């Protein structure tokens, strides 16, 4: 692992320049350099791959567990530290929810690393039925559930059926994380009270298990805007949704299959499940 530890108050631009320098010197891809964030930092839409301290320990524990015991040094084998920082589950449901055209299916394909869900530009809904597909990411068995738009007020008669089907597809014995998908450049009137509609469908505690997944991250990069700036300058209804979800956010660029965005999503998932387990 190539870890780059940065100090509190670091400049993301300067760190990215350092990563690019290291890439030029070593010829390793920039994704191989993992920036270890100071304690109070959360993984944001940085250009570089990063770990929080918690996710670093979780990754190290995973790597340690994958190493045969006879290859470990004596001081590594204390059983009480063998799963440090990692929730004990190795399976998780990820449910993609949100308005039509936000990029739910595209995000599902990015997570799966292959095209399993139909995703295309369209003036009408593309996904019409809930579907599930599975993959394994760093040893975690991930069940991805793609859904049609269940929050469009115009399709009230069908949304209950979709909610029921979606719940049937969730593997109940495993933890469930909802990914509320939002297009970075298009926050619509219908999305203003999406959390209320979401809670009505999935229960009042569902938002405690929710991560906001913003698509078209490349548009932020083009505008040279950090995710922090985006949230600080967005309309109050969106800010409110971010606050209500405890600022658990990830940014995806679905046009480029960048593994590090899936890694960051899984770090956020792990952190959330670890926290929930400790409560």
Stretch of 18-26, 123-131, 179-187, 222-230 lying at the interface with Mg ion (CB under 5 A): 123-131
Give the count of residues interacting with ligand GTP (CB under 6 A). 21
Position among 103, 143, 230, 273 found at the interface with ligand GTP (CB under 6 A): 103
* Nearest distance from C-beta of residue 189 to Mg ion, angstroms: 21
Residue 49, SS3 per DSSP: strand
Q: CA-to-CA distance for 169 and 161, rounded, in angstroms?
A: 13
- Whole-angstrom distance, CA of residue 132 vs CA of residue 44: 28
| The entry of ligand GTP, Mg ion, none that residue 102 binds, CB within 5 to 8 Å by partner kind | ligand GTP
Cα 246 from Cα 191, distance rounded (Å): 18
Residue 116, interface with ligand GTP (CB under 6 A)? no
Draw the binding track, 68-107, toward Mg ion (x: CB under 5 A; -: no contact). Answer: ------------------------------------xx--
Site for ligand GTP in 239-258 (CB under 6 A): 252-255
Four-CA torsion 85, 177, 99, 112, nearest 10 degrees: 80
**End-to-end distance of the chain based on CA atoms, in angstroms?**
31
Burial class (CB in 10 A: 0-12, 13-18, 19+), 270: buried
Residue 238 structure tokens: 């969106």
Nearest-approach distance from CB 262 to ligand GTP, in angstroms: 13
124-143 residues in contact with ligand GTP (CB under 6 A) are: 125-127
53 vs 126, beta carbon nearer ligand GTP:
126
Regarding 149 and contact with ligand GTP (CB under 6 A), the answer is yes
Residue 44 touches which of Mg ion, ligand GTP, none (CB < 5 to 8 A by kind)? none
Q: Does 127 bind Mg ion (CB under 5 A)?
A: yes
Please name which of 196, 205, 44 lies closest in space to residue 35, comparing C-alpha atoms: 44
Residue ranges in the chain assigned as alpha helix (H)? 12-26, 53-66, 104-112, 156-169, 194-202, 217-222, 227-233, 236-244, 259-278
Q: Which of 56, 106, 132, 137 binds ligand GTP (CB under 6 A)?
A: 106
Smaller CB separation from ligand GTP, 37 or 266: 266
Check binding of 126 to Mg ion (CB under 5 A).
yes
In Å, how far from its chain's centre is CA 159? 25
255 binds, among ligand GTP, Mg ion, none (CB under 5 to 8 A by kind): ligand GTP
Among candidates 35, 33, 36, 84, which has minimal Cα distance to 57? 84
Where does this chain bind ligand GTP (CB under 6 A)? 100-106, 119-121, 125-127, 148-149, 215-216, 252-255
Where does this chain bind Mg ion (CB under 5 A)? 104-105, 126-127
């Amino acid at each position: 692992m190539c870890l780059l530890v940065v100090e509190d108050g670091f400049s993301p631009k300067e760190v990215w320049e350092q990563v690019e320098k290291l890439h030029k010197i070593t010829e390793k891809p920039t994704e191989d350099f993992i920036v270890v964030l100071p304690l109070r930092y959360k993984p944001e839409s940085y250009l570089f791959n990063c770990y929080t301290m918690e996710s670093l320990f979780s990754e190290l524990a995973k790597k340690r567990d994958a190493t045969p015991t006879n290859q470990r040094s004596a001081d590594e084998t204390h059983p009480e530290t063998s799963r440090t920082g990692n929730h004990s589950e190795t399976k998780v449901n990820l449910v993609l929810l949100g308005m039509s055209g936000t990029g739910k299916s595209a995000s599902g394909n990015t997570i799966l690393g292959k095209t399993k869900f139909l995703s295309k530009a369209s003036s009408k809904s593309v996904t019409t039925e809930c579907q599930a597909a599975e993959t394994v990411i760093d040893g975690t068995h991930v069940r991805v559930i793609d859904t049609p738009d269940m929050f469009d007020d115009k399709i009230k008669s069908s949304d209950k059926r979709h909610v029921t089907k979606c719940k049937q597809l969730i593997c109940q014995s495993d933890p469930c994380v909802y990914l509320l998908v939002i297009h970075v450049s298009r926050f619509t009137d219908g999305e203003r009270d999406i959390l209320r509609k979401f809670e009505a469908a999935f229960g009042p505690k569902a938002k405690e298990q929710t991560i906001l997944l913003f698509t078209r991250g490349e548009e932020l990069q083009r505008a040279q805007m950090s995710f922090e700036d985006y949230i600080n300058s967005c309309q109050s209804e969106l800010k409110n949704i971010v606050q209500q979800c405890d600022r658990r956010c990830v940014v995806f660029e679905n046009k480029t299959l960048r593994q590090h965005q899936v890694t960051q999503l899984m770090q956020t998932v792990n952190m959330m499940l670890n926290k929930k387990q400790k409560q």
